[in-house]
């Protein structure tokens, strides 16, 4: 019950305050209109009208603010009451001008009521808690308009036409809100089902990958152990034992990568000079990569420092470069560089460490790139674009786990010049960390 009430409060918040641009335009236009009305009518009551509306909006925001905790049911009741008064305050000015003899102000009042109705019908995240309130004031507007027209209706037929049209408009207004609310509910339900299906797919892929990988290693270990019992030659027995050791080490490496993918590995963070790191790792990469692969270090502007586990960062860069080599079929250029990012977080991981800017170390290859629908899957455990037995599919997953555990993120995208661009975002070192 409490979760449902909290969800309804969140829906009220999103309906009126999720779009900051819309909020600024709505509040700004209200103030502007109030000043124009004061100027046109010399009636300062309209300034009080604007202040009352601003006060209602402030109280309403404080009531539905998702950062508040507790008392959800009481806050929901308060929100409905405050919203009721806010709707009444807002339409009071147009309703007042419907009785004004000036045709310009009368037309402006009609347009204001029409604009308010369109805003209600087309805003995102409609809430069933506000539908009765909005319908009530829409009906009130129709009733006021009917009373203004009533003295000019000379026959019963005219009166029936006006009343019928008012009733139809009120019904369609109420109906449109309900249809929109149901459509939004159906869309959110479909999104939840899709998310659950994606989780199930990822879980099946993960379990299948673990089972397949460990089955291969266990098969190798058990097969060589059986050979040890059958072989008489000491050298052959040592070779079989060595194969068991290699398979066991591969299984241990798989476990290590799984732990890294979960973001729960032990890290020994320290301040790293990126230029020095890349200079140290370049000879290692040149030895590991195929001679046909050209490694290029992009110039780094100034001194760039970050906070991370150096060993894990080096392992991650090696993994990314090996993936790049496979994508280029061991022929092409790999570029490694770094730059600072002014933002605190990223779309994929907005929770970077507090007070830290980010440093991005990127690896760009000259391969064919990846299709857009595959990009988001590259860092999933056991997902691989390589052939059978060409890799476990844990490399980029482990890199992303390390980056997130360090307070950063892993971003993968197709480079504008072609190829794949993989960026490890890590926290930039702060001055006090440099002193330590």
Q: What are the backbone angles phi and psi of residue 101, rounded to the nearest 5°?
A: -70, -20
Residues 273, 237 within the same domain: no
Residues 320, 428 within the same domain: yes
Residue-level pLDDT at 388: 45
| Tens digit of each residue's pLDDT (9 = 90 or more) over 393-432 | 567 878 888 888 888 888 888 887 778 889 999 998 876 6
Alpha carbons 5 and 64: distance in angstroms, whole number: 11
Residue-level pLDDT at 217: 78
> 96 in a domain, yes or no?
yes
| Tens digit of each residue's pLDDT (9 = 90 or more) over 13-41 | 888 887 888 889 888 988 898 898 888 88
Residues 47, 64 within the same domain: yes
> 137 in a domain, yes or no?
yes
Last residue of a domain, one of 262, 279, 300: 262
> 52 in a domain, yes or no?
yes
Residues 282, 416 within the same domain: yes
> What percent of the chain is modeled with pLDDT above 70?
83
Residue-level pLDDT at 351: 44
Residues 293, 414 within the same domain: yes
CATH number of the domain within which 415 lies = 3.30.565.10
The separation between the first and the last C-alpha atoms of the chain, rounded to the nearest angstrom, is 51
Instruction: Tell me if 162 sits within 8 A of 143, measured CB to CB.
Output: no
Alpha carbons 102 and 115: distance in angstroms, whole number: 20
Task: Tell me how many domains the chain contains.
Answer: 3
pTM of the model: 0.47
Residue-level pLDDT at 400: 86
Residues 93, 232 within the same domain: no
Answer yes or no: is pLDDT of 102 > 70: yes
> 81 in a domain, yes or no?
yes
Residues 397, 278 within the same domain: yes
Report residue 352 as tokens: 């970077």
Report residue 89 as tokens: 């305050």
Residue-level pLDDT at 335: 92
Can you tell me the mean pLDDT for 260-277?
A: 78
Residues 52, 97 within the same domain: yes
> 375 in a domain, yes or no?
yes
Higher pLDDT, 276 or 181: 276
Residues 220, 106 within the same domain: no
> 194 in a domain, yes or no?
no
Report residue 333 as tokens: 């250029």
Q: How many residues are there in the chain? A: 436
**Within 13 Å of residue 303, how many CA atoms lie on the same side as its CB?**
8
Higher pLDDT, 54 or 368: 54
Residues 242, 103 within the same domain: no
Last residue of a domain, one of 109, 125, 152: 152
Can you tell me the mean pLDDT for 40-46?
A: 83
Report residue 243 as tokens: 């194969």
Residues 301, 370 within the same domain: yes
Residues 255, 323 within the same domain: no
- Containing structural domain, residue 220: 211-262
| Tens digit of each residue's pLDDT (9 = 90 or more) over 180-219 | 778 877 877 787 787 677 666 656 666 666 666 677 778 8
């Amino acid at each position: 019950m409490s979760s449902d009430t909290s969800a309804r409060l969140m829906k009220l918040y999103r309906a009126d305050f999720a779009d900051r641009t819309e909020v600024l335009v709505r509040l700004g236009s209200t103030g502007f209109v109030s000043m124009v009305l004061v100027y046109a009518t010399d009636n300062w009551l309209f300034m009080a009208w604007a202040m009352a509306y601003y006060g209602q909006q402030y109280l309403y925001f404080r009531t539905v603010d998702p950062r508040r905790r507790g008392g959800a049911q009481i806050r929901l009741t308060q929100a409905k009451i405050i919203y009721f008064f806010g709707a009444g305050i807002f339409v009071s000015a147009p309703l007042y001008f419907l009785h004004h003899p000036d045709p310009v102000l009368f037309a402006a009042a009609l347009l204001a009521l029409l604009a308010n109705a369109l805003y209600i019908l087309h805003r995102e995240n409609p809430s069933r808690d506000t539908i009765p309130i909005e319908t009530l004031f829409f009906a009130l507007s129709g009733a006021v308009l009917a009373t203004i027209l009533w003295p000019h209706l000379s026959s019963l037929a005219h009166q029936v036409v006006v009343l019928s049209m008012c009733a139809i408009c009120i019904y369609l207004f109420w109906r449109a809100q309900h249809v929109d609310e149901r459509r939004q509910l159906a869309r959110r339900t479909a999104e939840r089902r899709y998310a659950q299906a994606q989780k199930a797919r990822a879980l099946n892929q993960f379990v299948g990958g673990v089972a397949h990988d460990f089955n291969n290693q266990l098969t190798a270990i058990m097969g060589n152990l059986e050979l040890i019992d059958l072989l008489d030659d000491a050298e052959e027995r040592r070779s079989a034992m060595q194969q068991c050791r290699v398979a066991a080490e591969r299984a241990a490496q798989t476990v290590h990568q799984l732990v890294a993918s979960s973001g729960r590995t032990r890290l020994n963070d320290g301040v790293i000079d990126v230029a020095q790191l890349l200079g140290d790792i370049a000879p290692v990469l040149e030895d590991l990569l195929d001679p046909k692969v050209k490694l290029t270090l992009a110039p780094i502007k100034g001194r760039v420092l970050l906070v991370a586990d150096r060993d894990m960062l080096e392992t991650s860069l090696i993994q990314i470069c090996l993936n790049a080599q496979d994508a280029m079929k061991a022929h092409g250029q790999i570029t490694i560089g770094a730059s600072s990012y002014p933002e605190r977080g990223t779309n994929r991981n907005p929770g970077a460490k507090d007070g830290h800017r980010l440093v991005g170390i990127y690896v760009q290859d000259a391969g064919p790139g990846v299709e857009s629908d595959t990009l988001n899957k590259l860092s999933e455990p056991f997902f691989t674009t390589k052939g059978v037995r060409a890799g476990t599919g844990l490399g980029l997953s482990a890199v992303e786990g390390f980056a997130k555990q360090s307070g950063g993120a892993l971003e993968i995208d197709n480079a504008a010049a072609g190829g794949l661009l993989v960026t490890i975002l890590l926290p930039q070192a702060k001055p006090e960390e440099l002193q330590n």
